Amino acid sequence: MAKRKTKYVCQECGYESAKWMGKCPSCGNWNTFTEEVVTPAGSGAFRHSATSTTAAKPQSITAIHSEKEPRVTTNLPEFNRVLGGGIVPGSLVLVGGDPGIGKSTLLLQVSAQLAEKELPVLYISGEESARQTKLRADRLGVKADELYVLSETNLQDIVRHIEEIKPAFVVVDSIQTVYREEVTSAPGSVSQVRESTSELMRVAKTNGIPIFLVGHVTKEGAIAGPRLLEHMVDAVLYFEGERHHTFRILRSVKNRFGSTNEMGIFEMKEEGLREVTNPSEIFLEERSQGAAGSTVVASMEGTRPVLVEIQALISPTSFGNPRRMATGTDHNRVPLLMAVLEKRVGLMLQNQDAYVKVAGGMRLDEPAIDLAVAASIASSFKDKPTKPDDVLIGEVGLTGEVRRVSRIEQRVQEAAKLGFKRAIVPKKNLDGWTTPSGIKVVGVNSVSEALRIVLGED
């Protein structure tokens, strides 16, 4: 009898080793290696021979016909925009998020909307029974005859049901519960997730069926399993938000059929998720009037401008080293901008604690928020409030200059739509576009010039 061969696989990154190790040399995590049986090379999927007549052949790029991908739209425009305009047939999409955030609720709503268009939809639940899924559907008011529910984790049975029903849309909740009988490791392991995703990708591409996979996340917020999982799929969506608050953010971090960094905002209601068509109003509705340290910035989330409040609190330090803290933005941005304000504007901030926060739970990483962060810090330090109808846009350089940003016209139009009366923007951005009515656009060259205007020191 042949001796069984085994290997040790890291469950975080997929690194393989011939012996057990306490620390993974690839990702650096401890106690993540598990023993798995090595599958013989010839027992897996069918392999093409070198003389196969069905193998793909090289083609000239000019001879390949390009066609616009047809898309299936849902009744949630926010969901459609994050995907790039709708669901592409044959695509494989991975949706990740914290437990209880609403991933299953969102996909069940989407499934019901497609089933109401008389498109057969197969919802596969590996974590809940069909009766539990029915209870959620009753809460959401789902009554669609073309929505089929299957509680199954065996991949061979799942593929058989897909080939029998021939659905127009498939949801697998979740990929960590699916297993292949040929792979000896436990469900959720690196080998099972990799092989199951590979088989579902083959089914999606050969039959033209869009398949949505729900993925668990680790305590750091990344999708559990090997990084290869995110490379195999066509799109990766993260469903974010605080579980104890009603707002949820669906963010695209990878999309082969549309732009990345798109964002859709939803509100969790008793009857399910409801899209938020104007997120700027949501983020600004609790803004304090006349408070020092508060400014508004027009930020871009993908192709959408969003107005967000930035708050800063500057107070004398009680320690030898002042604290610099930031929530919702890069923590390195705060000391950098404070150094610019101290060197170029003359504000003595070296003995001040600084706390900066992006209100509403948003996260902003683009450089166009620099001017608003600097104005918030200066406003709190001088205890002088900015005007409530001002919006600031601009990148700040280390020499104190205000540099141009992209899509200035869309940002200013969004500010004018919400009733802001004045926009402070880089002077280099003033040419080449028409100013919307009802708002005054002021161009500045430096941070000191912008602060004089914003704080009324002219």
Could you list the residues known to form a binding site, using ranges. 97-104
Tokens of 323: 């604290």
Instruction: Give the span between the Cα atoms of 259 and 301, in whole angstroms.
Output: 11
Q: Which residues make up each annotated binding site for ATP?
A: 97-104
Tokens of 125: 């639940």
Hey, is 221 helix, strand or coil? coil
Q: Which residues contact 262 (CB under 8 A, 6 or more apart)?
A: 81, 82, 84, 251, 252, 255, 301, 302, 303, 304
Give the torsion sign (CA, 146, 152, 156, 157). Answer: negative
Q: How far is CA 241 from the centre of its chain?
A: 11
Q: Are 185 and 192 in contact (CB under 8 A)?
A: yes
Report in angstroms the alpha-carbon separations of 439 from 97, 195, 424. Answer: 39, 56, 11
Q: Which residues contact 392 (CB under 8 A, 6 or more apart)?
A: 295, 296, 297, 371, 372, 375, 423, 424, 450, 454
Per residue in 142-170, is it b (16+ CB within 10 Å) or e — as a string? bebebbbbbebbebeebeebbeeeebbbb
Q: Name the one residue in this structure whose structure tokens are 């008793």.
A: 270
Instruction: Give the span between the Cα atoms of 394 and 366, in whole angstroms.
Output: 10
